[in-house]
């Protein structure tokens, strides 16, 4: 199975985890997901009053410069940890 296929399957399976991860873990997953699927962050950082969008943007931006393949692998590693808890 290719990395892309494994990544897409893990993204789909992540919606069915037995326990919802904490917010910091969700943001970490989001950052890896966006970096793996879109590449480096783009657009302007959301304003101070949009806390959720700003947190998501920051999570994605924290992986700037990471290759898409490396981000996909990190997502898979994190998902495997969560699945085995």
Question: 12-26 pLDDT, tens per residue?
Answer: 999 999 999 999 999
Where in the sequence is the domain holding 27, given as residue range(s)?
3-83
Cβ–Cβ < 8 Å for 41, 57: yes
Count of domains in the chain? 1
Sign of the dihedral through C-alpha 53, 54, 59, 62: positive
The burial class, CB within 10 Å (0-12 / 13-18 / 19+), for 82 is middle
Question: What are the pLDDT digits (tens) for 32-53?
Answer: 999 999 999 999 999 999 999 9
CATH number at 77 reads 1.20.80.10
pTM, to two decimals: 0.92
């Amino acid at each position: 199975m290719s990395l892309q296929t494994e990544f897409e399957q893990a993204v789909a399976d992540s919606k069915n985890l037995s326990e919802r991860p904490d917010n910091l873990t969700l943001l970490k997953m989001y950052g890896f997901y966006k970096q793996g699927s879109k590449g480096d962050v783009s657009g302007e950082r959301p304003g101070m009053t949009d806390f959720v969008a700003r947190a998501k943007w920051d999570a994605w931006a924290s992986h700037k410069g990471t290759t898409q393949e490396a981000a996909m692998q990190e997502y898979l590693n994190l998902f495997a940890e969560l699945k085995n808890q």
